[in-house]
């Protein structure tokens, strides 16, 4: 996954500028981002504080680790079942 040029703190700061009254087109021009990027950020980080964003990132990382563990366990179970069904 491509790493963002902006940290969560910066993204939330940009969204707070929008809430303060700047138009999205002005913000995008000023920060060098596309309109689609702005609206994606607003959808994901809208209404969050910096601490909420950090917690979200930690939860997403933990979710990735848990999915990987689950996939490995499912592979182990599948292999064991296959070995038990074979006639020796």
pLDDT band at 64 (very low <50, low <70, confident <90, very high): very high
Question: Rounded to an integer, what distance in angstroms lies between the CA atom of residue 28 and that of residue 22?
Answer: 10
pLDDT for 88:
59
- Report percent pLDDT > 70 for the chain: 95
pLDDT band for position 1 (cuts 50, 70, 90)? low
H helix runs in the chain, sequence order: 8-20, 24-31, 35-45, 50-85
Task: Assess contact for 18 and 27: CB atoms under 8 A.
Answer: yes
Who has greater pLDDT, 63 or 50? 63
Give the per-residue pLDDT at 87: 67
Band of residue 28 on the pLDDT scale cut at 50, 70, 90: very high
């Amino acid at each position: 996954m491509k790493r963002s040029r902006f940290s969560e703190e910066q993204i939330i700061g940009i969204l707070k500028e929008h809430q303060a009254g700047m138009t999205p087109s002005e913000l995008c021009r000023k920060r060098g981002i596309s309109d689609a990027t702005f609206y994606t950020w607003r959808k994901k980080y809208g209404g969050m504080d910096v601490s909420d964003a950090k917690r979200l990132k930690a939860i997403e990382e933990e979710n990735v680790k848990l999915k990987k563990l689950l996939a490995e366990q499912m592979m182990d179970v599948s292999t064991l079942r296959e070995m038990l069904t074979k006639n020796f």
